[in-house]
Chain A
Amino acid sequence: MYDAELFLPLSREEKTDAEMMRPSRTYWQDVRERLMRDKLAVLGLLVIVLIVALAVFGPVLSPYEYDAQDFMMSNEPPSGAHWFGTDMFGRDIFVRVLYGARISLAVGFLASFISLFIGVIYGGISGFTGGKTDNIMMGIVDVIYSVPMMIYVILLMVVVGPGLKSIFITLGISYWAPMARIVRAEVMRLKNEEFILAARVLGASPGRILLRHLIPNAMGPILVTLTFSIPGAIFTEAFLSFVGLGVSAPMASWGVLSSDAVGSLAIYPWQLFFPAGAISITILAFNFLGDGLRDALDPRLRK
């Protein structure tokens, strides 16, 4: 019925071949693959890349200067020459929105990276040390968190005056607090895991445990928080500029452009529409990306 040949014993090699042949994949390769499968997140990422590229190269390529006034062409509607129309001084709104993107994005990224830096170190130390130190450090965060941002703004207006500098200081003071809380919570969760105990048993220093073990494993939530904090900072800058506490003319941020356009909203609605639209699209894109990242990093979805 069967060939006797088939009943010969298997050699050791025949048994061990093809074991562990699946290609090695790191956690981040997995994350990237899952992220790339999320259509909204990819769309968000593409939009962000496009906006950044336009902000960097757009103004150079445009025939208009952001502060070049042309009174013959004031309050023009969108056309072939001026894609987004012009404002009351005849300045090209397209190039001003692109130029505003530079300031808005710079504020968003810079404020978020400062908050990342301070928040991760502060939260990491607080969570890892625990006990009294943790109580005091988190008490300070609570205080910073509970003071409304407007109070910092008003104080800084008096001391420093309006402008980019006070926006950065405002964001710098208040933005790292949520990041510190998230990092602390992650570190608290991880620090009793057995691989941390193993590192302690080997004699690893606290700094080494924090940098080599705790923070790399908290990177997921840190990245998500960072992604969500960028649009937050952009919006805050827009808001501060809108109420007149931000950059001043002829510099243009999206908030300033929106603010300038409000007066003539009834007659020239496009002057508000384009900068406000830019803010919305950017914030939406970051939120799509943040949502996608959160799903892609969620260990519960991992096999």
Chain B
Amino acid sequence: MLAGAKRGEVIMLLKVENLKKYFGNIRSVDGVSFSIQKGETLGLVGESGCGKTTTGRTIIKLYEPTEGRIIYGGQDITSLTPDEMLSFRKKIQMIFQDPYASLNPRMTAGDIIREAMIIHRIPRDEQQDRVNHLLRLVGLNSEQAGRYPHEFSGGQRQRIGIARALAVEPELIICDEPISALDVSIQAQIVNMLEDLQHELGLTYLFIAHDLSMVRHISSRVAVMYLGRIVELAESEELYASPKHPYTVSLLSSIPIPDPDKSDSRETTALQGEIPSALNPPSGCTFHTRCPKAKPECSMLKTQLADTGNGHFCACPFV
């Protein structure tokens, strides 16, 4: 059904409606809604504990959602059984954060990439060619297929992880902080490669990260999360140029700028305090305890993402 679409037409690939994931009393994700169009990159940013990783893992059904719906290509996949899910596993894949923990240390690079083909019953005689092709696609060579993860550098391991995700020819890849464990000089290599692969293979990304400047670079739209909720969502340039939600404003002004003069001349509004516990989130607008513009009524306000025009959504009613 996707293949029949015309060029330039906007196709909703993934739609998440009011997604909630509670671990006991911890409200890790608390009512998140967004959609991703085919071919775009949606950035999902926030600080640790904001629920961005849990959101990604719930979409790919590593966790069972507590509430809400996940719709992929028009089909509700929220309550599929593991068997029914198998065909969707080919369409949605994931790239992980830690290149040291995300590869099985007892398997060779080739076996790691081949495993997906075995699970999805790709004929044995095609497997070796595809492994070699995938290794080349991610900038490694086929002689390296017989090596073990500990023989590769961090950046190379991340490339193997990407090749593993690509082995099933997915449409959507959830990138869960794929560069945050890498050195600065390697981050740019991986980001460039992800962009190239997106163009070549027509991939769609959900790019989860806390590095706001990289998210700005790679994403077409960006969603900002705080305590399990999206507080702002907009086109990436729009969001960075004119952030509306007080949290986004402080978050952006906290990024250190790698330029001495700009860094000196910048007005910073360091946010007070730290993120409250998701075990007992503040009432009303959950940001009111740290918000520089908080009003008395904020603690009772039921906030909701509202369109402020041009596809710019914000959860704060006072902007």
The short answer to whether A and B are in direct contact, CB under 8 Å, is: yes
Which chain A residues have a beta carbon within 8 Å of chain B's beta carbons? 20, 22, 24-27, 193-195, 197-205, 208, 212-213, 216-217, 219
Residues of B within 8 A of A217 (CB): 104-106
Distance A197 CA – B102 CA, assembled complex (angstroms): 8
**Is B101's CB under 8 angstroms from A201's CB?**
no
CA A24 to CA B150, docked complex, whole Å: 10
* Interchain residue pairs A-B with the least CB separation, the first 6: A194-B102, A203-B89, A194-B96, A216-B106, A194-B101, A195-B104
A27 lies within 8 A of B106 (CB):
yes
Q: Contacting A195 at CB < 8 Å: which of B89, B103, B144?
A: B103
In the complex, B161 has a CB within 8 A of chain A: yes
- The answer for the CA separation of A174 and B13 in the assembled complex, in Å, is 55
A-B pairs with beta carbons under 8 Å apart, 7 shown:
A27-B148, A198-B102, A201-B89, A202-B168, A203-B90, A208-B119, A212-B104
Q: Do A24 and B94 touch across chains, with their CB atoms under 8 A apart? A: no
Most chain B Cβ neighbours within 10 Å, of A26, A203, A219: A203
Which B residues, 77 to 102, have Cβ-Cβ distances below 8 Å to chain A?
85-86, 89-90, 93-94, 96-98, 101-102
Q: Closest chain A residue to B161 by CB distance?
A: A198
Say how far B102's CB is from chain A's closest CB, in angstroms: 4
Task: Tell me which of A22, A198, A200, A219 has the highest count of chain B C-beta atoms within 10 A of its own C-beta.
Answer: A198
B120 in contact (CB, < 8 A): yes
Given contacts A24-B146, A26-B148, contact A193 B119 (CB under 8 A): no
B60 at the interface (CB under 8 A from A): yes
Given contacts A195-B103, A201-B60, A202-B89, contact A24 B115 (CB under 8 A): no
B302 within 8 A of A: no
Chain A residues, Cβ within 8 Å of B96: 194, 197-198
Chain B residues near A197 (CB-CB < 8 A): 57, 62, 94, 96, 102
A256 CB to nearest B CB, Å: 43
A200 to chain B, nearest CB (A): 6
| A204 smallest CB distance to B (angstroms) | 6
Q: Among B57, B85, B115, B151, which residue has its beta carbon within 8 angstroms of that of A212?
A: B115
- A201-B60, A203-B85, A203-B119 known; A213+B104 contact, CB < 8 A: yes
Name the interface residues of B124-176: CB closer than 8 Å to any CB of A.
144, 146-148, 150-151, 161, 164, 168
The reply on B306 being an interface residue by CB < 8 A is: no
Q: How far is the CA of A200 from the CA of B62 in the complex (A)?
A: 7
Taking a contact as CB atoms under 8 Å apart, the answer to whether B168 and A195 are in contact is no
Report whether B151 and A24 are in contact in the complex, using a CB–CB cutoff of 8 Å. yes
Interface residues of B (CB under 8 A from A): 57, 60, 62, 85-86, 89-90, 93-94, 96-98, 101-107, 115-116, 119-120, 144, 146-148, 150-151, 161, 164, 168
Minimal Cβ-Cβ distance residue in B for A215: B106
Which residue of chain B is the closest to A200 with respect to CB atoms? B62
In Å, the complex CA distance between A217 and B103 comes to 12
Q: Contact at A198–B94, with CB atoms within 8 Å?
A: yes
Which of chain A's residues have a CB closer than 8 A to the CB of B89?
201-203
Q: Could you tell me the distance in whole angstroms from the C-beta of A220 to the nearest C-beta in chain B?
A: 10
Give A23's nearest chain B residue, CB to CB. Answer: B151
Given contacts A194-B98, A202-B89, 20 further A-B contacts (CB under 8 A): A20-B144, A20-B151, A24-B146, A24-B147, A24-B151, A27-B150, A195-B101, A195-B104, A197-B57, A197-B62, A199-B115, A201-B89, A203-B86, A203-B90, A203-B119, A203-B120, A205-B119, A208-B119, A212-B115, A217-B105
CB-defined contacts of A22 to chain B, threshold 8 Å? 151
- Residues of chain A within 8 A (CB-CB) of B146 are 24
A202-B164 contact in complex given A27-B105, A195-B101, A195-B102, C-beta closer than 8 Å: yes
- Specify which chain A residues have a CB less than 8 angstroms from the CB of B116 in the assembled complex: 202
B15 to chain A, nearest CB (A): 20
Tell me how far the C-beta of A101 lies from the nearest C-beta in chain B, rounded to whole angstroms.
35
CB-based contact B148/A193 at 8 Å: no
Q: Which of B85, B93, B119, B148 contacts A204 (CB 8 A)?
A: B119
Given the interface contacts A24-B147, A26-B148, A194-B98, does A201 sit within 8 Å of B93 by beta carbon?
yes
Return chain B residues, CB-CB under 8 Å to A195: 101-104
Give the CA-CA distance A210 to B279 in the complex, in Å. 33
Do B106 and A202 have beta carbons less than 8 Å apart? no
Q: Which residues of A contact B102 (CB under 8 A)?
A: 194-195, 197-198
CB distance from A17 to the nearest CB of B (A): 14
Q: How far is the CA of A216 from the CA of B111 in the complex (A)?
A: 14
Shortest distance in angstroms between A30's beta carbon and chain B's nearest beta carbon? 9
Distance in angstroms between the alpha carbons of A201 and B119 in the assembled complex:
11
**Smallest Cβ-Cβ distance to B86: which chain A residue:** A203
Residues of A within 8 A of B144 (CB): 20
Q: Which residues of A contact B107 (CB under 8 A)?
A: 212
